[in-house]
Amino acid sequence: MPRILVIEDEPDIQAVLRFALEKDGHQVTVAGNGGDGLQELRRAGYDLVLLDLMLPDRDGLEVCRIIRSDPSLATTPVIMVTAKGEETDVVVGLGLGADDYVTKPFRTKELLARIKVRLARAREEASDGDRRRLQFQGLVIDPVRHRVVVDEQAVVLTLTEFKLLHVLASHAGVAYDRYGLLDRIGDGESVVTDRTIDVHVRNLRAKIKPYDHFVETVRGVGYRFADGA
């Protein structure tokens, strides 16, 4: 299920968006202001953000600017949903990096169609990135050949270990909690739980030495691949 973060302060609109999105098959989290929205986005990561511009604590344009300037959030699709529909508002919003701009009152079917387009485009871009060969010093990760090389020597990883390494390495600097990693590496068949993630990380680190330090533990959160490695 695509995970959508709604940053909106009006309870009635929160309810409308939650109902429509969940009915359309999305997992929805709602934040009532910009600060909480940014904190939630950094905590868990989302497939798309619906962002109001007139928020109680900070302007939605500032929230969009922060998202686009943060390397760990910059590729997250953002659709602005706002009553500010003047042409200058639209130009400014898109100029700050919003992917789309929907004015209130909006038609639910149109908004859902725009969300579908943005998610499909994001999946295409992610698929292109999934085929890239990654190298960090002597550690090479080749997703096409499903192969990992350490100092010119191939190492044997389990499917779960390979997925775990590839997800972390292809999003260097991004901290994932254990449930976020489960969403990305689970295939519905292998038995992988939040409790076993730590075991897989320990085994992975042992196999990729001396580059095990790239897989960092983030206290209270989970794991990330060292940024700038």
Neighbours of 206 (CB within 10 A): 9
3-129 has CATH 3.40.50.2300 classification: yes
Residue 9 clears pLDDT 70, i.e. is over it: yes
The distance in angstroms from the start CA to the end CA of the chain is 32
Q: Which pLDDT band holds residue 152 (cuts at 50, 70, 90)?
A: confident
- Confidence band for 190, pLDDT divided at 50, 70 and 90: very low
Reported pTM:
0.58
Q: What tens digit of pLDDT does each residue of 41-62 get?
A: 988 878 999 999 989 998 899 9
Report the topology of domain 131-225: Arc Repressor Mutant, subunit A (1.10.10)
Query: In the predicted model, is pLDDT for residue 176 greater than 90?
Result: no
Q: Where are the domains of the chain?
A: 3-129, 131-225
Give percent of the chain above pLDDT 90: 44
